Amino acid sequence: MLDKLSSKEDDVNQRIGQKIKAEREKRAWSLTDLAENSGVSRAMIHKIERGESSPTATLLARLAGAFDMSMSQLIALSEVQTGTLVRHDQQAVWQDPETGYIRRHVSPGQIPVDLVSVELPAGVAVPMPAISYLSRRQLIWVLEGTLTFQEGSTLFEMHKGDCLELGDPTDCVFKNATAKPCFYAVVVLKSS
């Protein structure tokens, strides 16, 4: 099962790299342009585009934000699923190589909402830069466990069933300070 997940993640990382390159070229941006717009080094972008490196959640959020997309939109665009039903084993799964954070893109189709399921391992913190929240509205809904969410200087301790609407774009941190995994959903309203 682990080999199957690793293989699927490698495929997703390859497609994400190809999508980043396609989005960059669609805008007629050089590697330098994307580096300046995202704050990610040219060398790292080059490695990601070639599938030689798996981006961390923070890097992927910065790259997606430079394209005025959410991370879930960028991951979803790298998948070729069509139709209105996307079965669990067909959903795009991406794992942050640095933290083990697992992100599953759940929503199918071209509706203006992205639904993402996240598993945040015990004792892990994942920072997300403000650029990943520009031009979009998001909700965080805790499904199981405890999530400590820092939005700028404001700290929220969220428990099962709690739902938070994010405010103005600011640097954020998703943290699981407990000894058990935390599961939550992120709902992203796509910009029109």
pLDDT for 3 equals 47
pLDDT at 28: 93
Q: What is the pLDDT of residue 61?
A: 83
Strands 154-159 and 102-105: unpaired
Q: What is the pLDDT at residue 137?
A: 84
Q: What is the pLDDT of residue 174?
A: 96
What is the separation of C-alpha 110 from the centre of its chain, rounded to a whole number of angstroms? 18
Instruction: Please provide the DSSP assignment of the chain as one string.
Output: -HHHHHHHHHHHHHHHHHHHHHHHHHTT--HHHHHHHHS--HHHHHHHHTTSSPPPHHHHHHHHHHTT--HHHHHHHT----SS---GGGSEEEE-TTT--EEEE---TT-SEEEEEEEE-TTEEEEE-GGGGTT-EEEEEEEESEEEEEETTEEEEEETT-EEE--SS--EEEEE-SSS-EEEEEEEE---
Mark the ranges of the chain whose per-residue pLDDT is less than 50: 1-5, 80
Per-residue confidence (pLDDT) for residue 1, from 0 to 100 = 43
- The pLDDT value recorded for residue 146 is 98
